[in-house]
Structure 1
Amino acid sequence: MINISSLESLIGELKDKLGQDYVATDKEICFAYSMDSSPVPGHIPDIVIRPKSTEEVSEVIKLANKYKTPVYPRGAAASLVMMGVPLAPGGISLDMTRMNKIIEIDEDSMCVTVQTGITWGELEYELKKKGWYTGFVGPGPGLSSTIGGAISVASVYYGSAKYGTACDILLGLEVVLPTGEIIKTGSAALDTSKKHTRYGLGLDSTGIFCGDQGIMGVKTEATLKLYPVPEATGFFVYGYEDEDKLLKAIHKMASLHVASDIDYSDNQSGFDMGGGEERYIVRGKVEAHSEKELEAQLELFDKIANEMGGVKTAPAQAKMYFEDMIYEIFPMAGMIGNYGASCNKMPIFESKKVHDLFLKYREKHKAEIEKYNLTTVWYTFISGSCIDILPQIQIPAHDPEALKYGTELWKNFIKEELKYGTVHYWLGKVIGDQVVEHYRPTYFNFIKKLKNLLDPNGILNPGLLKLP
């Protein structure tokens, strides 16, 4: 940790750069920045700052290098895996949520440039006034999440079946490197070009910062693709008893890249999410530019479901999942307690192995699950050509013994599922430490070299991915 004298000097210089109102050292404020939404607490920072511009972020990073003080960028704190929180006592919590401006809506180039502290909700509200949206419109926590946080973990969920991840709609970034230098990526890296494309100028430097967990730089601006808002929206729900037929149906649905959202849950995995009488429930959302097109698409999904033995039920639950719940963090979190979730991708048919593992794991620990009033949930959704698996262990938040046991149960399951080829993107400290154990040595050496080059003093998010 930084010594008292140096800390006081750092605080003074930060206040000179950002102003008194945006540099906090109060214990109560700093404590609030010691945690995200995960069941595992972080540490308390020495300083919380709220910059308003890329230039201010650059000044902060330069001072952090001067004083060899760690910096932990933070968005909406919706992470479930210890991200955006200090991983050791002290340091600077860099709250990006004051940087919430829309820089430019370029309708001719069909893209929008924003500061990365803006939420998906704020962006959607303004874009829809002009008849546009981003296709992928936010991760699981909904519209309260920030653009920067979603890019840092390559988030998926709302719109992912058709549009992919937050990084798939990304055209370029403005980034403050861990040395304080400012760079632009994508076509904006050219001094003659607009921000209309990601590729075509050599290295895809944008990709270095996609899913990087915030270790390679502080993203301050992002340019995203725009699509016309659909004129018609429809939903479907089908029930299945046979998992093999279910997966065949989902595979066919996903291969079309027509539905914006497709998910399924196992109502016998510990928590009945409803939607029908069958064990497995598939939900989906379809967008179209006319009622006639929408009708044809819904008929197509009915045909696929019917061919695979699906039972069509009322679509109301799909509307709730893919439209209503986006406006608030998943309501079950408040009802049940802390999430212990692992978000990972697999080929669709391969996911059955992890589902079987989850059911066996749940049965093995059934007595303790009941003792501590834990709730298990099997929930998945489609992201591009992959299935995204979210096996969950819900933990009563205010029971210390349950929290301790449930957290270890969650971590140990992640360790087991990694053996089956799960690919995690929401890493943070909790999952990242385990994923690193499966890195091929040459790949991990490459990451270390890149990190050392960009962050020679190791000031940005030290401790993530087992990096200094």
Structure 2
Amino acid sequence: MSNYNKVTDAVVKKLVAICGDKYVTTSEPLRHSYMARGIMGLEAELPEVIVRPENAEQVSRILVVANENLCPVTPAAGGLSGGFALPAIKPGGIYMDMTRMDKMTVDTENRVMVVEPGVRSGDAWRIFKTQYPDWAPPIPDGAPPAATVLGDAIERGFSLVTGVYGPQADMIMGLEVVLPTGEMFHTGSWALPGAKPFYRWGIGPNPDGLFLGSQGSMGIITKCAIKMVPHPHYKTVVAYGGESWDDVVKPAWEISRHEMGISDRTVMVQGGNFQLVQTRWPKTNVPLDYEFYKKIGLDRKWMNYEVWAWSQEELDFTLKGIDKIYKDYEVREKRVTPQQQLHPKQVASRLKKPNKIAVPYSLWEAGFLFITWYCPWLESSKMMEEYCAAMESHGFPPTMWVASIDHARQAIVMPILCFDSTKAGIYDKIREFNLETTKSFLKKGWLNYRPDPFVHAPQTFSRAKEYYRMLVKFRKVLDPNLILHPGRLAIPWESVTDLPNPCKKGK
């Protein structure tokens, strides 16, 4: 296990020499303000210094200083598309705020946009809407406008077209990376000086997977080339309900199999239960029983389909195809899956980008946490049933969200824990719930997405020992001093868990 040093005054002076006094701070209130940004994690350490680099050269120089002084470094941009970029171990070390790096270029000819870490979804959408109306940036869906395009992409995130194009990382064409040692590195065709980022697989074996989903622990990505998508303007949202999870999961699977057809126009397929609507308001302001929601036409479970088309005829054809599949399902399975009558304002709200569906859950009891998992689409019903039962048994409302990834090849399942953050023992209760469900789900072959360093990562790697051993080898090649976001992927192992280390003999 590495022994890290605290950030000294001498280190701070070196950081000031690199970035300027205006962009380095040890102010305790400002350091604490960064702790409030995460929505997919709870435990973290307070960083010792905040530094805001302007370019990749400054990032490189900061990492050289960190290596010389053995200070841990945590890179972060928005932290709002689902990431939780906060220090995982003591001392908190250097927090590298990447938001000053906010340049974006658009290449409509090759259908690629290049973004730096600080490019926010709201800004990207606004620029495309006014300057490139026939194209759409693959911004994270559901995250606030301050969430970043790059952050969502490198964490394999959920974009507004994930239902068709797959996880956000599948759309990446090239990366500019500053390695933990301070060296610069490019992937894809970018590896050839002067080449455009037009071909992901580049001039040899492509190592970009080491940096995607690495939780910021393998390298700091300073530029990302990512596909942009066509933006048809015939759009709508339709929703269907049911009594069980299967009532909405199985028809969605049948619809999603129509690739090169109606499935390719359902860019977003996502749903949930009535509690997903209920917990968007303060607990004291809304009815707590289902009967109220039934009267206003909200089924216990529902799935909505955001459809983009090039013409009204194409849009109508897609909607008729979706409706036919639901009607056939009703007859075949002897179930009732009615189409929900959405108000035009509901449709307009859902089509508005970037939407803010992640924001209101803090209103229920002043605290919320997103936890996300991947599983095969048709197994998502079982996962959600088990998850909802566990949430209720631990005293949480069973607030559940699910979405299709790549034509329902996978499901992303996300419970939203709404809780009273002032209640004594609540964080121990959440950890107990998280640990219980994690152990159960891993046995079923389901994978956590954006793992918690203290629960998901050690539990997963305790089972995937072969993978973890190789991951550690790669990490030590790239980051021999393990300075970059240590502990985020349970490296060093002992920094986040007391479970047996998979790398040790006999384990």
Give the alignment's TM-score, normalised by structure 1.
0.90
Cα deviation digits, residues 206-226 of structure 1 (max 9, x gap): 222111111110011111112
1:261 equivalent in structure 2: 268
* Residue of structure 2 in register with 1:224 after alignment: 226
Q: How does 1:389-408 map to 2 (within 5 A)?
A: 389-408=413-432
Structure 1 equivalent of residue 132 of structure 2: 130
Shift of 1:37: 3.1
Query: Where do 5+ consecutive residues of structure 1 fail to align?
Result: none
Are residues 430 and 142 of structure 1, via their aligned partners in 2, closer, same or farther at CA, if it must alter by over 3 Å? Answer: farther
- What amino acid maps onto 2:164 in structure 1? K
Query: What letter corresponds to residue 380 of structure 2 in structure 1?
Result: S
> Counterpart amino acid of 2:387?
F
2:473 aligns to what?
449
CA distance, structure 1, for counterparts of residue 126 and residue 277 of structure 2: 37
Q: Which residue of 2 aligns with 1:282?
A: 303
Kept in 1, the 8 Å contact 2:391–2:433? The answer is no
Alignment partners' CA distance in 2, 1:257 and 1:268 = 29
Range with bigger deviation, 258-267 or 32-41: 32-41
Residues 1:339 and 2:368 aligned together: yes
Give the match for residue 312 of structure 1: 339
Q: Tell me the SS of whatever aligns to 2:168.
A: coil
Q: CA deviation at 1:236?
A: 0.5
* More divergent stretch after superposition (223-232 vs 275-284): 275-284
Q: 1:283 touches 1:318 (CA, 8 Å); kept in 2?
A: no
SS in 2 for 1:162: helix
Find the counterpart in structure 2 of residue 375 from structure 1.
397
Q: Is the 8 A contact 1:97 1:117 kept in 2?
A: yes
2:100 is aligned to 98
Q: Match of 2:321?
A: 300
Query: Contact 1:111–1:226 at 8 Å: present in 2 too?
Result: yes
Secondary structure of 1:168's match?
Answer: helix
Aligned mates of 1:90, 1:363 — CA distance in 2: 35
Q: Deviations over 1:12-50 (max 9, x none)?
A: 111111111001111211222345235624111111001
2:354 matched residue in structure 1: 326
Contact 1:80–1:340 (Cα < 8 Å) also in 2: no
State the alpha-carbon separation in 1 of the partners of residues 279 and 92 from structure 2.
Answer: 43
1:54 matched to 2:56: yes
Is the alpha carbon distance of 1:429 and 1:8 closer, same or farther for their aligned partners in structure 2, counting shifts above 3 Å? same
The equivalent of 1:121 in structure 2 is 122
Aligned to 1:416: 440
Q: Do the aligned residues in 2 keep the contact of 1:239 with 1:276 (CA within 8 Å)?
A: no
Give the AA of the match of 2:360: M
- After superposition, the C-alpha distances for 1:355-394 in whole angstroms (9 at most, x for unaligned) are 23224324544xxx1xxxx422122111112111112321
1:424/1:435 contact within 8 Å kept: no
Q: 2:232 is matched by which residue type in structure 1?
A: P
Q: Which runs of 5+ in 2 are unaligned?
A: 258-262, 281-292, 331-336, 493-507
Residues 420 and 249 (structure 1), Cα distance of their counterparts in 2 relative to 1, 3 Å cut: same
Amino acid at match of 1:241: E
Alpha-carbon distance change, 269 to 411 in structure 1, aligned in 2, over 3 angstroms: farther
What's the offset of the Cα at 1:432?
Answer: 3.8
Task: Say how many residue pairs are matched.
Answer: 459
In the superposition, relative to structure 1, how do residues 284 and 438 fare at CA in structure 2: closer, same or farther (>3 Å)? Answer: farther
Letter of the 2:15 partner, please give it: L
Partner of 1:28: 29
Contact kept, 8 Å, 1:235 with 1:284, in 2: the verdict is yes
SS of alignment partner, residue 127 of structure 2: helix
Query: Deviations for 1:308-359, whole angstroms, at most 9, x for unmatched residues?
Result: 1221122348636743473335243231232233211111111222123224
Cα distance in 2, alignment partners of residues 452 and 3 from structure 1: 19
Change (3 A) 1:80 1:226: closer
- Tell me which amino acid in the other structure corresponds to 2:483: I
Letter paired with 2:320: E
CA–CA distance in 1 between the matches of 2:439 and 2:47? 29
AA of the residue aligned to 2:114: T
Aligned-pair CA distance for 1:272: 7.5
Q: Is the 8 A contact 1:393 1:410 kept in 2?
A: no
Taking a change above 3 Å as real, the CA distance of residues 318 and 329 of structure 1, as seen in their structure-2 partners, is closer
Whole-Å Cα distance in 2 between the matches of residues 413 and 360 of structure 1? Answer: 10
Aligned residue number for residue 505 of structure 2: none
Go from structure 1 to structure 2 and tell me whether the alpha carbon gap of 1:318 and 1:171 turns closer, same or farther (over 3 Å shift): farther
Matches within 5 A, 1:190-201: 190-201=192-203
AA in 1 matched with 2:415: P
- The amino acid across from 1:380 in the alignment is V
Asked whether the 8 Å contact 1:71–1:91 carries over to 2, the reply is: yes
In 2, Cα distance between equivalents of 1:261 and 1:436: 29
* Pairwise CA distance, 1:10: 1.1
**Measured at CA, do residues 269 and 419 of structure 1 come closer, stay the same or move farther in structure 2, by a change above 3 Å?**
farther
- Measured in 2, the distance between the counterparts of 1:88 and 1:157 equals 34
SS of the residue 1:179 aligns to: coil
**Is residue 60–residue 178 contact of structure 2 (8 Å, CA) maintained in 1?**
yes
For residue 344 of structure 1, give the secondary structure of its aligned residue in structure 2: strand
Whole-Å Cα distance in 2 between the matches of residues 28 and 233 of structure 1? 45
Structure 1 contact 49–95 (Cα < 8 Å) conserved: yes
User: What is the distance in 1 between the residues matched to 2:245 and 2:4?
Assistant: 56
Residues 135 and 231 in structure 2, CA contact (< 8 A), matched pair in contact too:
yes
Q: CA RMSD in A?
A: 2.5
1:466 to 466, 470, 490: 490
* Structure 1 residue 184 corresponds to structure 2 residue 186: yes
Of all paired residues, the percent bearing the same amino acid is: 25
Q: Under a length normalisation based on structure 2, what TM-score does the superposition of the two structures give?
A: 0.84
TM-superposed CA distance for 1:227, in Å, is 2.3
3-state DSSP of counterpart to 1:330: coil
